[in-house]
């Protein structure tokens, strides 16, 4: 069974600094997709970034980038130049065919 693990329940970062959120997953498949979602206090689930497992190049979206290590089954999210608006719960998700699996989330606090 596919599982997704986020080992950091809560993290803090100073405004303008960089923080990395960890995510590992367990799968025997080779063709899958990975996502990071952000959930602010408004409860909306907002897509941050996505990665195709067949691509070796790490995805980037402005201040957000991933470190995808397929052999290690690791998919960490790096947030550069952290802003107060980045404070939220972050969920890592794995997609294989029609199923999505989510980690338990990391709460990110941003200190001014």
Binding residues for another protein, rule: CB under 8 A, are 6, 9, 31-33, 35, 37, 42-45, 47, 50, 52, 91, 93, 95, 97-100, 102-105
Give whichever of 64 and 102 is closer to another protein, judged by the CB atom: 102
In angstroms, what is the minimal distance from the CB of 64 to another protein? 14
Give whichever of 48 and 87 is closer to another protein, judged by the CB atom: 48
Give whichever of 16 and 45 is closer to another protein, judged by the CB atom: 45
CA atoms of 46 and 54, how far apart (whole Å): 24
């Amino acid at each position: 069974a596919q599982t997704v693990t986020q080992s950091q329940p809560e993290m803090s970062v100073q405004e303008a600094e960089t923080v990395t959120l960890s995510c590992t997953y367990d799968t025997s498949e080779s063709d899958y997709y990975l996502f990071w979602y952000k959930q602010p206090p408004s409860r909306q689930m907002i897509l941050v970034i996505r990665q195709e497992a067949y691509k070796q190049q790490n995805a980037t979206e402005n201040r957000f980038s991933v470190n995808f290590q397929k052999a290690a089954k690791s998919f960490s999210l790096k947030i550069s130049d952290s802003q107060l608006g980045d404070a939220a719960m972050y969920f890592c998700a794995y997609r294989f065919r029609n199923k999505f699996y989510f980690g338990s989330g990391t709460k990110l606090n941003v200190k001014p």
